[in-house]
Chains A and B, each alone.
Chain A
Amino acid sequence: MTEFLQQLINGLSLGAIYALLALGYTMVYGVLRFINFAHADVFMVGSFAGYYAARHVPAGTIWGGLAVLFIAMAACTVLGVAIERFTYRPLRNAPRLNILITAIGMSLLLEYGVQLLFGSTPRNFPAVFPTSQLHLGGLTVSSNQVIVIAVSAVLLVGLQLVVFRTRLGAAMRAVSLNPRAAQLVGINLNTVVTFTFALGSALAGAGGVLYAMNYPSIDPFMGVMPGLKAFVAAILGGIGSLPGAALGALILGFAETFVGGSAYSTYKDAIAFGLLIVIMLLRPAGLLGRLTVEKV
């Protein structure tokens, strides 16, 4: 039982990070209907930004940690908006496949660009938040896990408020429902898309720092696997649905932690895709998604 609860907490903190990434995928997909492959690398840039920011703040303090988090989020917001402005926007009306290839190109450019600038040797991410172990009964919870879960929860609630309580959030939802009709009622598509990328990238930046705190070795290719899995999570929950992405991410986090702790731990990386296939076959629209019927 203790073992089970322990794994549950580990799964929750992993799932929370996936959720931060998955939301970026699902929002961009909702608005522009394409898989933003470069998102995973924005996440990677987030942890590199955190790494460099951590040198200039007092280590192991709450305020220092929050400053690192904030700087990484700001850097990723700028990066994400710039990527959209200079590569995706000129292709807005191109076939979706071309945008997808451009996104893959962008992803490679970021990976190898960072490798060129900072080298490919893994770096050790410093402890930016105070670290300690909490013992609750038989459970061991690291303060990092608590911080990951708390920060993610705050960001998720914040996102929910932005999307459902602000004018821009309403515009975003309108665009994802029907981009043309949204433009007809006076919504500026470019503003909405920029805003979406800003939100998604900020979350990815936070995710990058939080991930690096728990797995403190960062390299230019660290984003690839978490990125793919977060996208799987977004699909699991039903792409375009915010609560769906969070739910999918938690399910994935739990599944992966439990398989990782069992005798089949070498299959850990396959479990996400196995889940994906099962869900796609049983519920092609995802857990909370709505199936759209193609009209002739």
Chain B
Amino acid sequence: MPVPRQHVALLATLALAGAVTAFGGSLNAYHLDVAMNVGIAIILAVSLNLVNGHTGQFSLGHAGFMAVGAYLSSAFTLRLVPASASAFEQHLLFFAALLTGALAAAVAGFLIGLPSLRLKGDYLALITLGFAEIIRVVFQNTPALGGAIGLNGMAPLTTIAWTFGWVAVTVFTVSCLINSTYGRGFLAVRDDEIAASASGINPTRYKVVAFTLGAFVAGIAGGLFAHHQLAIDPRGFDFFRSVEIVVMVILGGRGNTLGVILAAVLLTLLPEFLRPVAEYRMVLYAALLIGLMLLRPQGVFNLRLGRSATGKI
């Protein structure tokens, strides 16, 4: 019996992540740091791709869900993990913390998704942006979560194994979901909502599922991010962060998982390569963005023209 491609990829990535962690001590710390940033970016981009690329719902609020995951998982590890815990216990509790953060993000995604999905296109983009800003302001005004200063002092629990383990699980889940019978509904909703509902698909349900799942995964990424950066504050989850994730999805070609992963890698590595010209970094980034949109409007890594190039909002 042939083993499906996704399963092989999942197992290979998990094994590789475990191996890299086992020999992590001999690797350059800077390279490990960048690799974890890349992994977190991939998780965020692939989860947004489910909402934005596959289901066709333009969300500008992904940083908000990431913030929920980051804050709640940090609060969990800061409050509930005793200093005396062994490494194994710490990582076990870290897993619980990640799930807590992600569940909270999923609840936020569900609550936001339910009313806002009556809206379409630019309006949906704006209302998700609005929700993300509100989440940020609420965190900023909650003294228990550090207020404007944010939280710090988390243990550095995010490892390569955790990061790329979650990358593998995310990519696996999303690509299997999309290729399943149930998952075709997401594509149907994107391609034509009216036709989809005429053929018995409930668009609202699919949209809410996509939103909730996307938020859950973004929450995981937020938790990993928090335990990698070791200090988070509300400004780190602003509008620009959401835009960054959207840009990865667009550059990768919406709905094209491999392209989105490559774009996430490229856009995370780019600022590192531009470090020698630090002052010009953001200007070059912006110019590159405009240039790519003008020259390759279907996404840099979208080699199959057509399907995702139709570009409906």
- A residues touching B (Cβ–Cβ < 8 Å)? 29, 33-35, 87, 90-91, 94-98, 100-102, 104-109, 111-113, 115-116, 224, 228, 231-232, 235, 266-267, 269-270, 272-274, 276-277, 280-281, 284, 294, 296
Q: Which of B123, B194, B290 contacts A102 (CB 8 A)?
A: B290
Of all chain B residues, the one with the shortest Cβ separation from A95 is B311
Task: Given A108-B286, A235-B123, decide whether A273 and B243 contact each other with a Cβ distance below 8 A.
Answer: no
Task: Given A104-B243, A109-B286, A269-B133, decide whether A97 and B141 contact each other with a Cβ distance below 8 A.
Answer: no
* B289–A108 CB distance below 8 A: yes
* A102–B286 CB distance below 8 A: no
Kindly list chain A residues whose C-beta atoms are within 8 Å of the C-beta of B123.
235, 280, 284
Of all chain B residues, the one with the shortest Cβ separation from A35 is B122
Task: Given A97-B313, A112-B286, decide whether A232 and B130 contact each other with a Cβ distance below 8 A.
Answer: yes
Distance in angstroms between the alpha carbons of A213 and B194 in the assembled complex? 50
Within B269-310, the residues touching A (CB, 8 Å) are: 279-280, 282-283, 285-287, 289-290, 293-294, 297, 310
Of all chain B residues, the one with the shortest Cβ separation from A294 is B194
Distance in angstroms between the alpha carbons of A296 and B250 in the assembled complex? 27
Interface status of B92 (Cβ within 8 A of chain A): no
**What is the distance, in angstroms, from B139's C-beta to the closest C-beta of chain A?**
11
Closest 8 A/B residue pairs (Cβ): A95-B311, A273-B130, A105-B289, A108-B286, A109-B286, A270-B137, A112-B282, A105-B290
What's the A-B contact tally at a CB cutoff of 8 Å?
Answer: 122
Within B107-138, the residues touching A (CB, 8 Å) are: 115-116, 118-119, 121-123, 125-127, 129-131, 133-134, 137-138
Distance in angstroms between the alpha carbons of A24 and B130 in the assembled complex? 20
Distance in angstroms between the alpha carbons of A266 and B142 in the assembled complex? 11
Interface status of B239 (Cβ within 8 A of chain A): yes
18 A-B pairs besides A87-B290, A94-B311, A277-B116 with CB distance below 8 A are A29-B122, A35-B126, A97-B58, A97-B311, A102-B294, A109-B287, A115-B282, A228-B239, A235-B123, A266-B137, A270-B134, A273-B134, A276-B126, A276-B130, A280-B116, A280-B123, A294-B194, A296-B194
Kindly list chain B residues whose C-beta atoms are within 8 Å of the C-beta of A98.
250, 293, 297, 311
Kindly list chain B residues whose C-beta atoms are within 8 Å of the C-beta of A29.
122
Kindly list chain A residues whose C-beta atoms are within 8 Å of the C-beta of B122.
29, 33-35, 96, 100
Of all chain A residues, the one with the shortest Cβ separation from B147 is A266
**What is the distance, in angstroms, from A125's C-beta to the closest C-beta of chain B?**
24
* B137–A224 CB distance below 8 A: no
Within B237-261, the residues touching A (CB, 8 Å) are: 239, 243, 246-247, 250, 254
**What are 29 pairs between A and B in contact, CB < 8 Å?**
A35-B122, A94-B311, A95-B310, A96-B313, A98-B297, A98-B311, A101-B250, A101-B289, A102-B293, A104-B243, A105-B290, A108-B285, A108-B286, A108-B289, A109-B286, A115-B282, A116-B279, A116-B283, A228-B129, A232-B126, A235-B126, A269-B137, A270-B134, A273-B129, A273-B130, A274-B134, A276-B130, A280-B119, A280-B123
Distance in angstroms between the alpha carbons of A95 and B52 in the assembled complex? 14
Distance in angstroms between the alpha carbons of A29 and B282 in the assembled complex? 27
Distance in angstroms between the alpha carbons of A116 and B297 in the assembled complex? 28
* B282–A91 CB distance below 8 A: no
For B119, B125, B243, B254, the residue with the greatest tally of chain A CB atoms inside 10 Å of its CB is B243
| Chain B interface mostly | helix
Interface status of B205 (Cβ within 8 A of chain A): no
Kindly list chain B residues whose C-beta atoms are within 8 Å of the C-beta of A294.
194
Q: Which of A91, A232, A235 contacts B297 (CB 8 A)?
A: A91
Interface status of B7 (Cβ within 8 A of chain A): no
Distance in angstroms between the alpha carbons of A40 and B250 in the assembled complex? 22
Kindly list chain A residues whose C-beta atoms are within 8 Å of the C-beta of B118.
281, 284
**What is the distance, in angstroms, from B147's C-beta to the closest C-beta of chain A?**
9
Kindly list chain B residues whose C-beta atoms are within 8 Å of the C-beta of A97.
58, 250, 254, 311, 313
Within B89-120, the residues touching A (CB, 8 Å) are: 115-116, 118-119
Distance in angstroms between the alpha carbons of A284 and B310 in the assembled complex? 26
Q: Which of B131, B250, B290 contacts A106 (CB 8 A)?
A: B290
* B294–A95 CB distance below 8 A: no
**What is the distance, in angstroms, from B310's C-beta to the closest C-beta of chain A?**
8
Task: Given A102-B294, A109-B283, decide whether A277 and B243 contact each other with a Cβ distance below 8 A.
Answer: no
Distance in angstroms between the alpha carbons of A111 and B287 in the assembled complex? 12
Kindly list chain B residues whose C-beta atoms are within 8 Å of the C-beta of A107.
286
Within B197-251, the residues touching A (CB, 8 Å) are: 239, 243, 246-247, 250
Kindly list chain A residues whose C-beta atoms are within 8 Å of the C-beta of B131.
273, 277
* B126–A231 CB distance below 8 A: yes
* A284–B134 CB distance below 8 A: no
Q: Which of A101, A112, A232 contacts B283 (CB 8 A)?
A: A112
Task: Given A280-B123, A284-B119, decide whether A273 and B289 contact each other with a Cβ distance below 8 A.
Answer: no
Kindly list chain A residues whose C-beta atoms are within 8 Å of the C-beta of B239.
224, 228
Kindly list chain A residues whose C-beta atoms are within 8 Å of the C-beta of B138.
270
**What is the distance, in angstroms, from B279's C-beta to the closest C-beta of chain A?**
6
**What is the distance, in angstroms, from B195's C-beta to the closest C-beta of chain A?**
8
**What is the distance, in angstroms, from A90's C-beta to the closest C-beta of chain B?**
6
Within B143-200, the residues touching A (CB, 8 Å) are: 194
Of all chain A residues, the one with the shortest Cβ separation from B250 is A101
* A266–B313 CB distance below 8 A: no
Distance in angstroms between the alpha carbons of A269 and B134 in the assembled complex? 8
Task: Given A97-B311, A266-B141, decide whether A109 and B290 contact each other with a Cβ distance below 8 A.
Answer: yes
* A95–B297 CB distance below 8 A: yes
Distance in angstroms between the alpha carbons of A144 and B312 in the assembled complex? 46
Distance in angstroms between the alpha carbons of A4 and B174 in the assembled complex? 54
For B118, B133, B313, the residue with the greatest tally of chain A CB atoms inside 10 Å of its CB is B133
